[in-house]
Amino acid sequence: MAGLLYRLGRFAARRHWYVIVAWVLLLALGGVGYSLFAGTTSSNITIPGTATAKVQDELADKFPKASGGSGTIVFATKDDSAFTDAQKADIKSFLGDIDDVTAVKSTVNPFTTESDLEAQRQKITDGRSQIADGKQQIADAQTQLDAGKQQLEAAQQQLDTQKAQAEAAGQLPAVQAQLDAGQAQLDAQQQQITSGQATIDANTTKLQQQATELEQGADLLDLSKNVRFVSKDDSAAVATVQFSKSTYDVPQASKTKIGAMADDARIAGVDVQVSNDIAQGVPSVLGPGEIIGVVIAAIVLVIMLGTIIGAALPLVSAILGVGVASLAALSFSSLVEFTSVTPVLGVMLGLAVGIDYSLFILNRHRAQLKQGMGVHESIGLANGTSGNAVVFAGATVVVALLALNITGVPFLGLMGTVGAVAVAVAILVATTFTPAVMSLLGMRLLRKKERAAIGTTGATRVPNAPMNTVRAIVTLVLGIAVLGTIALPAMQMRLGLPDGSSEAVGSSQYNAFKTVEDKFGAGQNGPLVAVATLPSRISDADVTATEVTIGKAIAKSDDVSAVAPIGASSDNSVIAFQVIPKGGPSSVSTENLVKDLRDLSVQVDGGTTTLGVAGNASANIDVSEKLANVLPLYLVVVVGLSLIILIIVFRSILVPITATVGFILSLLASFGGLTAIYQFGWLSAVFGTHDPGPILSFLPIIEIGILFGLAMDYQLFLVSGMRESFAHGAPAKIAVQRGVHAGRAVVTAAAIIMMSVFAGFIFSDSSTIKPIGFGLAFGVMVDAFVVRMLLIPAAMHLLGTSAWWFPKWLDRIVPDVDVEGAKLERSHPGTERGPGPGTGHGTERGTARDGVEPEHHGSHAAPTAVDAPAHATEHTSHGSHAAPIAEDASAHHTGHGPAHRA
């Protein structure tokens, strides 16, 4: 690989305009692809196959009319007074305009809905009064009928007595006709009484049925009494916007238009705010914080490189790579659903690693130029050595990000893939475009004083004494204790997705969320949909009774504020309810409620009914649980990958273990910092966490993938210097100091740059981007400056020679990876001396034309002495990982342990 990159660097140097134009064309091609094929990004974060997704599919099948998504528009009077009739009329007109927006099915006027609810409650009151009156009328009729019955019975007795007396007197034939007439009259009266009783009985049954239905309706109204569309003080109202599609499938243009209409609403004395479902869009990539982060990175580059033109090169390279990768990825957004945070993550990573990777190669090139190496040869050698390390380090980041696909979470896998593409493009830019521009700029990458001193710089002394052992022990113990303390809050980490409360204070969605919370209760911001699948179909007459039975069972939970029936499916096999929790959408109580409802079983019609739960709060819970479940698997894969890669690179067992333990420490500390700031609300004034809540559900997995790759970068650029120094004869403990000395400057600059870029996103307007920026910035800081700069050197010092122990059988089968390109350097013992100061661009054979044989003056010039002390004093260190090469047998192989040392 080193040889290939050397040739690639030489080619880019000779044909710099071809390479530069090729990248510009790629950027233009990406722009064309984006303009032709780009789709819309979505704020939807879902996972197929979750419990919520299954319920949503059932709703779409059984309740097609209600399958579209919805959002809310909140109206509130500015002075907290009751709405006037004029304001209500203006709100009605405004909602009528919203009806005309594309993808809007209808709007629900809150005043009309609240009036309807009041009318229904009044109907219950009136109905109860009417039923009471009916009962009284029936009772009166029954009293009259009973009196008639008594009179008829008395008349019948009198007639029977008369008949008996006539028969006893032998006068029956004479009075028979009169008696029969009297009996017929009594029979007619009896018929009337029987008919009247039947009527009373029928009316009683009907009244009882009406009373039952009325009370069932009253029960349903009572269950939903806390569901309001206008606040009790009549100062706030919530209108519903019903979409024709799922909320997340609604075109962003339609949501943007609704938001703009709300901003432009001219309703006197009324604030109009839209909910998070409508206002949430694509996060801004270039805000003030992001620009400040890039500016800080530029300042670090200027300080380190000493020239503005040199500092501009890594920035231009990174921006080019980000542009190509982002445009290329988004060109597929019409085919694959992109979450809104996906391209932002690609930009974040592309900028950070793009600057660092170009810096590593540029720094090596400048060091070689200062030693007198020719421009083209220096570019080739820098690309073959530092560029080789960049490729390997970048490959670890790419692999870690691509491994996100094993989680089985589509949106997470896509995020990893887009991030991996951004890093891969950054590698290609660093190893092709950067060498081309370095060739174009020639010696101008050095300051005038540096050009004047070319070839005259003396050897740089390197450490020849080991670290103090007591200091190493104290550093290790204290460092682990500090990181462990920082990590403690992570034990209470909760995962979730952002809601309106985590948006920027003063934003439309934040104001809408807070108004609803204050005026209607926290649960109104996160209603749930409970779907009851019945054991068998029921009749239309039994629907209301079944709704009451299930509704009362749901309402028994202490965490339920209200239950409102949505309706039954056309075949009466499924009944749906809206459930308003007492807590907010991200509260622990709501999470517990979702679990309780899913465990609830209700006896209906001789069978058992179970509930499914859907809604934004439910979906957030499912996504968070799914990600929490795959987190251990991904961590195991990444840790295992870490061990394998480091064993191959360093040909050691203990070095990979210490590196992996260090990675876990920095990761846990990063989780602890995230939890303390974004969940507990510590330092809220600094980081803008005005409403602390759960940690972004997919952030831990993203952090594992990205921090693993970056940690391996720093491990590689520091410990490989220790390894090379040890392999070439330096005692193990001195080799530790030399490795740190050789790599600390460039790693420090790289870490500060990466922290600056990530930290710029902390102050983004997006509640999703903020914690990602902090987590990565804090993780890089901890890993680079605490773990890699302090703990790893201390641990390596204490391990001594045993750190490089490697079983012979494993040494035979593990491939030899020359990450630093040491073999390439040894294969180029002579290099051209570049032009002297003030001569402008370098030439391939600048000194040969003057009849002077080119000499080797690279950053890894071999010392003439062959003994170990001579190595210690003559070793020059001008690259990121300079290593002395002895003029003995050990100089002709890489050496991988004590057995290979001279």
Inter-residue contact 713 to 396 (CB < 8 Å): yes
Q: What is the CA radius of gyration of the chain?
A: 40
Residue 896 has which token pair? 């991988």
- Is residue 840 a contact partner of residue 442, using CB atoms and an 8 Å limit? yes
Asked if 504 contacts 819 with a C-beta cutoff of 8 angstroms, the reply is no
Beta bridge partners of 107: 241
Q: Parallel, antiparallel, or unpaired for β 236-243 and 601-604? A: unpaired
**Cα angle for residues 145, 150, 152 (degrees, 5° grid):** 90
Full DSSP string of 476-499: HHHHHHHHHHHHGGGGG--EE---
CA distance readout (Å), 425 to 346, 353, 422:
11, 10, 5
- DSSP letter for 453, please: T
Q: Name the token pair of 708.
A: 């693993």
Residues whose CB falls within 8 Å of the CB of residue 698, separated by 6 or more in sequence, listed in order: 45, 409, 411, 412, 415, 623, 627
Please provide the distance, in angstroms rounded to a whole number, between the alpha carbons at the two ends of the chain.
Answer: 27
E strand or H helix at 238:
strand 236-243
Phi, psi dihedral angles at 407 (to 5 degrees):
-70, -20
Beta strand spans in 512-623 (E) = 528-533, 560-568, 574-581, 601-604, 607-614
Quote the pLDDT of residue 460. 61
For residue 551, which of 226, 227, 120, 222 has the smallest C-alpha distance? 222
Q: How far apart are CA 578 and CA 562, in angstroms?
A: 8
Question: Quick check: helix, strand or coil at residue 602?
Answer: strand
* Other CB atoms within 10 Å distance of the CB of residue 222: 18
| Inter-residue contact 564 to 224 (CB < 8 Å) | yes
Alpha-carbon distances of 376 from 325, 437, 622, rounded to whole Å: 28, 11, 57
Counting Cβ atoms within 10 Å, is residue 841 exposed (0-12), middle (13-18) or buried (19+)? middle
Q: What is the pLDDT of residue 842?
A: 37
Task: Please report, to the nearest 10 degrees, the dihedral formed by the alpha carbons of residues 716, 719, 725, 729 taken in order.
Answer: -120
DSSP state of 841: S
Alpha carbon distance 670, 653 (integer Å):
26
Burial profile 536-560: b = 16 or more Cβ within 10 angstroms, e = fewer? eebeeebbbbbbbbbbebbbebebb
Distances (CA, A) of 292 to 48, 505, 584, 774, 818: 39, 21, 35, 15, 38
For the entire predicted model, the pTM comes to: 0.78
- Cα distance between residue 22 and residue 790, in whole Å: 43
To which H or E segment does residue 420 belong?
Answer: helix 410-428
CA 248 to CA 227: how far, in whole Å? 25
Q: Are 825 and 856 in contact (CB under 8 A)?
A: no
**CA pair distance 681, 561, nearest whole angstrom:** 27
| DSSP letter string, 564-579 | EEEEE-TTSSEEEEEE
* Structure tokens belonging to residue 477: 């113990």
What sections of 170-251 are H helices per DSSP? Answer: 172-223
The C-alpha angle 52, 72, 219, rounded to 5 degrees, equals: 70
Write the DSSP assignment of 284-323 as a string of letters: PSS-HHHHHHHHHHHHHHHHHHS-HHHHHHHHHHHHHHHH
For the chain, residues with pLDDT lower than 50 are 830-902
pLDDT value, residue 67: 63
Q: What is the largest CA-CA distance in the chain?
A: 172
Contact status, residue 672 vs residue 488, Cβ threshold 8 Å = yes
- pLDDT number for residue 837: 34
3-class DSSP assignment, residue 843: coil
Q: Report which DSSP code applies to 829.
A: -
Report the pLDDT value the prediction gives residue 295, as an integer from 0 to 100: 87
- Return d(Cα 651, Cα 645) in angstroms, integer: 10
**pLDDT at site 177:** 87
CA distances from 797 to 38, 341, 659, 664 (A): 54, 42, 14, 20
In the block, residue with structure tokens 């243009």: 253
Structure tokens given for 560: 């339920």
